[in-house]
Amino acid sequence: MKEIKGLKDRLSKQRPDSWEDLPDLSLYMDQLISYMPRQLIPLEEGDALTAAMVNNYIKAGLLPRAEGKRYGRKHLAYLTAICALKPVLSMKELAELLNAVDNLHVVAEDWYAFFLGKLDESMNTVADSLDENAGEGDLPALALRLALDSYVNKLACQRVLALLEKQNKPAAPPATEKKKKPKPAAPPAGEKKKKK
C-alpha cells in the first residue's frame, strides 16, 4: 500500500537535526516556533508548537528560561524531546524524566545525542515492522498491533518512571522512639506542691 510505504520511508529517513546542525545563534520566540516543525514528523497541522506551550513548559520546569528572550541549542534539544514525548507522557512524568536527566549532570549535547540515538532505534524498529505490501484489509490488525505496542510500552515506562521517582526521593530519617518525659514526682504525703 502506497501510504504505508510513505510512512515507512518517513520513519526510516526523517530525523531531528543533530546538535551540530541546530542553529548556533539564539532564536527569538517566533523563530523558535517556525524552526520546531522540522524537528519531528508531524502527522496533523494541529500538532504545531505555540508560544503559549513553550511558556507553559518553562513554568512547569520542563524547559530552562530564555536567555534574554532568546533560545539556544539546549532549548531546541529539550523542546524536541518534549514534543516527541508529550503525546505519551503526562507533564508530571515528563518532569520526572527530565529531572532525572538533569540529576545525572550530563552535558546537554551528550544527553541530546543519547536521545537522538534512542529515537532513531525506535523509529527504525517501527519502520521495519511495517509491511508496505499490506492491503486495506490488513490495516485494522496493523493499527491494533501498533496500539497494543504503545499500551505495553506506556505501562512499562510508567513503572520505570515510578522507580525513578522513588529512587530520587530523599530517604526518610530512621524512626526513633520518642522518649517519654518523666512525670513529675508526687510530693510526699502531707506536703503541698510549691507554686512557681
| Grid cell digits, residue 157 | 515506562
**Confidence at residue 191, expressed as pLDDT on a 0 to 100 scale:** 55
Q: Are residues 19 and 49 in the same domain?
A: yes
* Alpha-carbon Rg for the chain in angstroms: 27
10 is a domain residue: no
* Residue 118 falls inside a structural domain: yes
Quick one: pLDDT at residue 38?
86
Q: Which residues contact 73 (CB under 8 A, 6 or more apart)?
A: 19, 22, 23, 24, 108, 109
* 138, 121: one domain: no
99, 140: one domain: no
Domain containing 122 equals: 15-129
Whether 24 and 72 map to the same domain: the answer is yes
**Count of the separate structural domains present in the chain:** 2
Q: How does pLDDT run across 68-122, given as a tens digit for each residue?
A: 999 999 999 999 999 999 989 998 888 888 888 777 778 889 999 999 999 999 9
- Confidence at residue 156, expressed as pLDDT on a 0 to 100 scale: 95
Assess whether 120 and 27 both reside in one domain. yes
Mean pLDDT score of the chain: 85
pTM of structure:
0.78
Within a domain: residue 156? yes
Q: With respect to residue 195, please indicate whether it lies within any of the assigned structural domains.
A: no
Taking residues 14-40, what's their average pLDDT?
93
Whether the pLDDT of residue 153 is over 90: the answer is: yes
Same domain, 104 and 150: no
pLDDT confidence of residue 19:
96
Q: Are 26 and 119 within one domain? A: yes
